[in-house]
Structure 1
Amino acid sequence: MDAVKWLEVVLDTNREELDGLCARLTANGVTGMAIEDEADFKSFLEQNRPYWDYVDDALLERMKGVCRVKLYVTDDADGRRQLEQWLEGVKTPYRAASLGENDWAHSWQKYYKPMSVGERLYIVPEWERDEPVPPGKAALYLNPGLTFGTGSHASTQLCLAGLERYAAPGKPVLDLGCGSGILSIAALVLGASRAAAVDIDPKAVDVAYENAAMNGIGRDRYTVRAGNVLSDPALVEELSTGDYALVLANIVADVIIPLSAQVHRFLAPGGVFLCSGIIDTRSGEVAAALERSGLECMEKREQNGWVAFAARVRQ
């Protein structure tokens, strides 16, 4: 059977005409459209400022002055007839481009290849799990398309390298802000007895469990919760076992700073708090917060403008 081809149709407009254009398209029968708007993008960034310190300049540049609507139809006679119906009475100019075969949605997979991180870990995308693993490496299988946490970002690599250094085999690990579960699953692959993980995004729960299952890790060793330890006392109480040899937090400075004040509730005596996701211009603030919270910084690592700290409760 011939592969399905798709046509991407782009209507460039402006902020004043956007709502009217969308209303006209909806009235013409369009049930799904993608809207890209610089003003909405900037508003989203501002409303979610606590969750990042840095947005890539190239992304900001790509969104500069953008206000457009995207539609998708099959690249054939039926699709073009449908497009003609959708655009009836629409005076906004448009451009169209073929997206090729029906696997275009997965074309991003070519950018993810197995990679070594640290001395032992070898991160493998699930579609390459049949490829051989280099001798001496511990494979960590992952679906990079599910949610944040692929191992390619410098902050994650800093945390994974620290995990290799500080994770104690046979001891439990806590992962705060787990995303894909990459850190806690890596800890289990490297010999942790069990792991608990938390993320504010409920979708992360199923994603982390799915990635764990790819690595032969079941729920008898791995527990994932949705919630915010900064605002949910019940969740904090559940996690306050005081026996975690390693607590991981690959988040941002604005979360790590208040988190440092209560991390002692989770740590076992002598346990390590490993935090990353800190842009270098804010590392001083984080170091000061760790100090105020009674934590002693044992190590600071830097990579590509990002910083990770390893700290223990001061004796």
Structure 2
Amino acid sequence: MFYPTFGKTISMTKQRSRRILMIRPTTFRKNEETAVNNAFQQDVSDSSDVLSRAQAEFDNLVEVLEKNLIDVTVVSSIKEEDTPDALFPNNWLSFHDNGHVVIYPMFAENRRRERREEIIDQVSDNSYKPKNRLIDLTPYEDKALFLEGTGSMVLDRVHQICYAAISPRSHQEVLDVWGERLGYKIVSFKSHYNSHSDDLIYHTNVMMSIGTTWAAICVESIRDLVSCEKILDALMNSNKEIIDLSYEEIYGFGGNILEIENQRGESIIVMSETAFNTLKVDTKTKLSRHGKIVFAPIPTIEKLGGGSVRCMIAELF
């Protein structure tokens, strides 16, 4: 059981983390419970050995990150729990540089089994006692209200602004509570899968990413002009270079990217090979001005899981 604490936090000052957490899968398949509202999930032509393929992709990604001097903590999922999406830990917990840890309410029941207190104990810095700084939002599941971590929210940690696309996985009521507890301004909006559909994009982090000096966002997915102007104004006022992503780019997971700081203090922008190959030359040129682009192939994970590299990483502060 998780025990929440109360009170506002101090200002967060660093955008990118120097340590990350990744969960190695011991079970993996297309999650039938999440496929109902994740249009990025697909079937694969060869369904044999999907676990071993996903594990190989995971291990290779970790190797690529470590070769670029990124500090990666790897924890294995528990096979007996049957958690096909356990390799996406950023949806159930987030860490913050003042020591707070937030535990989130999840849409899919089989994803709720991913939450493990011992993981928090394992990765927490000895300089503070995280159990005294937990914020537990999981009771909102009883009201069918959800907020799936840094999948639902894209954070400007320096300016304490949370950008969130409302969806069946991201509810305003929980967002407002999160913002009050963490001291963030909430900028919420609706983002659509395409120009002809009323279906809402399931997670903000597939259509938007924020770095220290840049923000990549699929502007055309936001139909409401007032919301769009509010978002762009907030980004410009935060001194971000705005990089506009097309639908084609986000469907290739070009929005599901993350800036990390390596052990040399360098900015590394991580993404999948699919994302790298899908992003336009101009987009990659703009991103490369802000950091080194690093990528790895994870096609099995992307197709069946419906998430990419950013979803696989929980930032540790």
Same fold (TM over 0.5): no
Find the structure with the greater CA-based Rg.
1
More strand by share: 1
TM-score (norm 2): 0.32
Which structure exhibits the higher relative contact order, with contacts defined as CA atoms closer than 8 Å and separated by 6 or more residues? 2
